[in-house]
Structure 1
């Protein structure tokens, strides 16, 4: 697939490395000049581009940036992807640690619903709860005992099927976590977040998630 990645931090950079190693054509961008990604491009074979060009003709787009920066993305930044291409977002809201207060999220809007509204497209929430080194190093073949499972929330249909298949290709068991409106079940502070469970454990943790955001993940 041709994959556009907006954001080259821990998760975005790791996905650039993993996806190029699997043979995908990756265009990666950060918030600066593409030349700042020269080392990553040389290492992986990805093409460093301006953020506005990352999604051009992509089969899949990944947005992996600090939550507070989402409103700064240019309008229509993912609209140049191929029709029906899924847009994955890996973001998390850390109000005390990084992002400051985002009123809609404090009032209960699921983080990915907020991102979807800002981007103007449906999105799929995945890769937000796994440590980047595990994403880089702990993918294993399907059927391996103890294989880490990753929840995927978003609209049903072919685009979701593509995202679920990509998670499997990366070496993790994909778990359908329901609609985007249910994506709060995998936000920071929930039972599934950062726990590296297998598929059965992920389903159980999603079902047990409390609706209220934990105090450490609310603005003080």
Structure 2
């Protein structure tokens, strides 16, 4: 699968490297440091380039930028018509302490309004990037930790689900894109548990239904 990474911070860099390890064709883009993009590509045998180059002919895109950079990266990405876009962004203020969109809408829904021709699906925003390497190393073990996935496009969710499985999580269906109104605040809970409580940031979770 050809994957374009829009944003090469912690989330984009780590997921891009792991997907490259799985054999996907990964292109890194959108960083203040061109040298960082070059290093990421070199280290995992991928490519690097502009946002437009990462978008071109991609089977899937990962949108992984701070909310303050959304307008800029979308302008460079174009209309994204037909593109499958995995959104892991939480709409946070500059201090990363408060959500700036909700509760009658969400960051995910606002993105869908900005680029209505894209095939949006949200995932990866409820598990800290520090968990990815450990989950990947244990992906042969069962049960796998869950990862919430939500969106309105069944085909896009199928593609995202395959990429989630590649990392080592089990995708957990959480409904349509409107679910983001509740998931984005939940992402702040997982951040508190990961970074504000003892035990380290490599947090995972799993939901199970009790059966009689």
Shorter-chain-normalised TM-score: which range? 0.7 to 0.9
Shift of the 199–22 alpha-carbon distance from structure 1 to 2, 3 Å rule, reads: farther
- On the 8 A contact 1:27/1:49 being kept in 2, the answer is yes
Q: Secondary structure in 1 aligned to 2:151?
A: coil
Q: Secondary structure in 2 aligned to 1:125?
A: strand
Matched residue, 2:38:
38
Matched residue, 2:75:
75
Matched residue, 1:205:
none
- On the 8 A contact 1:57/1:80 being kept in 2, the answer is no
- Is residue 130 of structure 1 aligned with residue 127 of structure 2? yes
Q: 2:204 aligns with which of 196, 199, 215?
A: 196
Q: Secondary structure in 1 aligned to 2:55?
A: coil
Structure 1 segments unaligned to the other structure (5+ residues): 202-220
- On the 8 A contact 1:68/1:100 being kept in 2, the answer is no
Q: Secondary structure in 1 aligned to 2:119?
A: coil
Q: What is the aligned residue count? A: 196
Q: Secondary structure in 2 aligned to 1:61?
A: strand
- Deviations 1:44-101, CA, capped at 9 Å, x for gaps: 11111012211110000111000111122243716467x4x42101101222624888
- Is residue 6 of structure 1 aligned with residue 6 of structure 2? yes
- On the 8 A contact 1:5/1:61 being kept in 2, the answer is yes
Task: Report the TM-score when normalising by structure 1.
Answer: 0.78
Task: Report the TM-score when normalising by structure 2.
Answer: 0.81
More deviation, 12-21/121-130:
121-130
Matched residue, 1:175:
172
- Deviations 1:125-157, CA, capped at 9 Å, x for gaps: 100111111012223336613x21000010142
Matched residue, 2:84:
86
RMSD: 2.6
Matched residue, 1:109:
105
Shift of the 99–197 alpha-carbon distance from structure 1 to 2, 3 Å rule, reads: closer
Structure 2 segments unaligned to the other structure (5+ residues): 192-202
- On the 8 A contact 1:142/1:172 being kept in 2, the answer is no
1:18 is displaced (CA, Å) by: 0.5
1:118 is displaced (CA, Å) by: 2.0
Q: Secondary structure in 1 aligned to 2:18?
A: helix
Q: Secondary structure in 1 aligned to 2:12?
A: helix
Looking at structure 1, the residues matched to 45 and 36 of structure 2 have their Cα atoms a distance apart, in angstroms, of 15
